[in-house]
């Protein structure tokens, strides 16, 4: 009889039940879309943010000490300490290798722009900051894999007038816009540059505008810089662009002193892509190095990610709250319309519990249909958001299914509270006899 009552109520009140199902479907679809995007957005936003540069800098340990003690920067020349270029491939062999999107080594060389250049108009004898780097270096890793990495991917926002350097252009250079302006350089010009290891004639392939003090520098392939400095096979620093998880209390404690963590905490930290954990593993891979997060970048990334996720969480909560309100109105209106029927059931001897269960079952069944429809619609919305905002598909997370199920259940129960209270307050004498 119970199911006859349910069936009768569902099929003979199709309009109202469809409205309830639609309301739940709307909430469930938004929740599904937002939860899927939220769980996937970390990688997506991280990927987006990687286009804005490195978030980890690796320097020799002793240079770092001098920096910490005396405030000497890597360009000061005070610390003639280097990292070995041959070890750099091991960056892609650490536990978080797949999170390291790009990296580029740099060698800073004190150099002079000489006036004996073939073009007499060029300014001579000016001290400049010459930097050797990888631009799009092809590396064959010890694991048998290969990778292309360097500045070109990491400095994708640079505006280059002319051509980007390639690692094979050993007699070419790229000049920063401020240096080029001061020295009157343009793409295609030839300059002579002198350094400790000798003098070299270079062709300017492009003038770049980075919007930072990099615009004062002259970039050359790493091999050229090593030759000019007379220091083969070394680099001054490495910039690393890594996908990271936003910091939390654990990662902050670990960043200060990993040894302060318990074994379990240490394992959790080590196996989570916190920037401090990645730095720790880079230091393990590169001998006598110190890897430091570029705090402004790392924290900004974390903040953006957290805010994006918070925004989506709020949208999810608001959409579900909206659904709960909608359900509340619809079910309460339904109970009011059916007050005589409910009063009759009570008059015939039904207690509050079976009548409440009857109404709740109707709404739960309707909600299950609406929730299922909403889930699949939500998967579609997630893909639309993925392609529109991030330009790629959102991966479907199976854990969203139970989450949405629980949320729909909570929304239905919360939305049904006012109607159940109304139902409990209905007295058969009042609804059947008006008193």
According to CB under 8 A, which one of 5, 139, 261, 396 is a site residue for another protein?
Answer: 5
CB of 423 to another protein, least distance (A): 14
Q: Cα–Cα distance between 149 and 239 in angstroms, integer?
A: 11
- Verify binding: residue 358, another protein, rule CB under 8 A: no
Gap between the Cα atoms of 311 and 306, Å rounded:
8
Phi first, then psi: what are they for 165, rounded to 5°? Answer: -70, 155
CA distance 311 to 2: 43
The DSSP code sequence of 9-45 is HHHHTHHHHHHHHHHHHHHHHHHHHHHHHHHHHHHHH
Contact assessment for residue 128 and residue 213, using Cβ atoms and an 8 Å cutoff: no
- Name the residue nearer to another protein (CB basis): 187 or 347: 347
Among 118, 184, 198, 354, contact with another protein (rule: CB under 8 A):
354
By CB under 8 A, which span of 5-13, 31-39, 129-137, 187-195 interacts with another protein?
Answer: 5-13
Phi first, then psi, for residue 343 (nearest 5°) are -60, -40
Among 162, 194, 258, 428, which residue interacts with another protein (rule: CB under 8 A)? 428
Member of 141, 325, 344, 414 binding another protein (CB under 8 A):
344
Nearer to another protein, 170 or 341 (CB): 341
- Rounded CA-CA distance 331/311 in Å is 30
433 binds another protein (CB under 8 A): yes
Given 15, 71, 398, 434, the residue binding another protein (CB under 8 A): 434
Distance CA 31, CA 415 (A): 16
CB of 348 to another protein, least distance (A): 5
Contact criterion met (CB below 8 Å) for 243 and 47: yes
Query: Position of tokens 């800098």?
Result: 57
Instruction: Give the binding-site size for another protein (rule: CB under 8 A).
Output: 27
When asked if residue 98 is in the footprint of another protein (CB under 8 A), the reply is no
Q: Does 425 contact another protein by CB under 8 A? A: no
Q: Is 345 in the site for another protein (CB under 8 A)?
A: yes
336 lies in the site for another protein, by CB under 8 A: no
Selected from 348, 398, 402, 425, the binder of another protein by CB under 8 A is 348
Comparison of 257 and 351: residue with beta carbon closer to another protein:
351
As a whole number of angstroms, the distance between CA 100 and CA 102 comes to 6
Q: Token digits for 1?
A: 């009889």
Q: Binding to another protein by residue 340, rule CB under 8 A?
A: yes
* Token pair belonging to 361: 């079952």
| From 286-294, 315-323, 344-352, 410-418, span contacting another protein (CB under 8 A) | 344-352
Residue 228 tokens read as 């000019």
Please tell me whether residue 12 binds another protein under the rule CB under 8 A: yes
Judged by the rule CB under 8 A, the positions of this chain that interact with another protein are 1-2, 4-5, 8-9, 11-13, 340-341, 344-351, 354, 427-429, 432-435
């Amino acid at each position: 009889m119970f199911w006859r009552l349910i069936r009768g109520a569902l099929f003979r009140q199709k309009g109202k039940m469809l409205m309830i199902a639609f309301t739940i479907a709307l909430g469930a679809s938004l929740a599904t879309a937002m939860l899927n995007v939220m769980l996937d957005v970390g990688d997506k936003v991280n990927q987006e943010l990687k286009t804005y540069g490195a978030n980890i800098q690796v320097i020799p340990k002793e240079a770092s000490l001098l920096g910490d003690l005396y405030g000497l920067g890597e360009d000061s020349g005070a610390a003639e300490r280097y990292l070995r270029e041959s070890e750099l491939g091991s960056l892609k062999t650490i536990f978080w290798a797949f999170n390291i999107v790009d990296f580029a080594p740099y060698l800073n060389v004190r150099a002079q722009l000489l006036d004996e250049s073939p073009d007499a108009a060029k300014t001579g004898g000016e001290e400049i900051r010459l930097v050797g780097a990888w631009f799009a270096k092809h590396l064959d890793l010890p694991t048998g894999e290969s990778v292309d990495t360097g500045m070109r991917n990491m400095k994708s926002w640079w505006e280059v007038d002319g051509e980007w350097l390639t690692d094979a252009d050993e007699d070419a250079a790229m000049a920063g816009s401020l240096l080029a302006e001061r020295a009157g350089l343009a793409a295609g010009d030839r300059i002579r540059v002198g350094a400790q290891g000798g003098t070299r004639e270079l062709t300017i392939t492009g003038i770049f505008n980075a919007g930072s003090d990099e615009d004062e520098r002259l970039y050359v392939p790493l091999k050229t810089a090593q030759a000019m400095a007379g220091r083969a096979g070394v680099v001054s620093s490495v910039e690393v662009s890594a996908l990271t998880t936003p910091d939390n209390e654990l990662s902050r404690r670990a960043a200060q002193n990993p040894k302060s963590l318990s074994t379990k905490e240490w394992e959790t930290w080590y196996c989570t892509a916190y920037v401090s954990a990645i730095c720790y593993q880079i230091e393990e891979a590169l001998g006598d190095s110190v890897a430091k997060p570029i705090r402004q970048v790392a924290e900004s990334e974390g903040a953006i990610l957290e805010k994006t996720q918070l925004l989506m969480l709020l949208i999810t909560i608001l959409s579900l709250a909206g659904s709960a309100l909608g359900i509340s109105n619809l079910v309460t209106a339904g109970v009011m319309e059916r007050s005589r029927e409910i009063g009759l059931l009570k008059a015939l001897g039904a207690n509050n519990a079976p009548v409440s269960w009857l109404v709740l079952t109707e709404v739960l069944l309707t909600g299950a249909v609406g929730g299922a429809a909403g889930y699949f619609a939500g998967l579609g919305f997630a893909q639309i958001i993925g392609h529109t905002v991030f330009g790629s598909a959102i991966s479907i997370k199976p854990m969203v299914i139970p989450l949405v199920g629980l949320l729909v259940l909570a929304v239905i129960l919360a939305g049904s509270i006012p109607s159940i209270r109304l139902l409990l307050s209905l007295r058969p004498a009042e609804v059947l006899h008006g008193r």
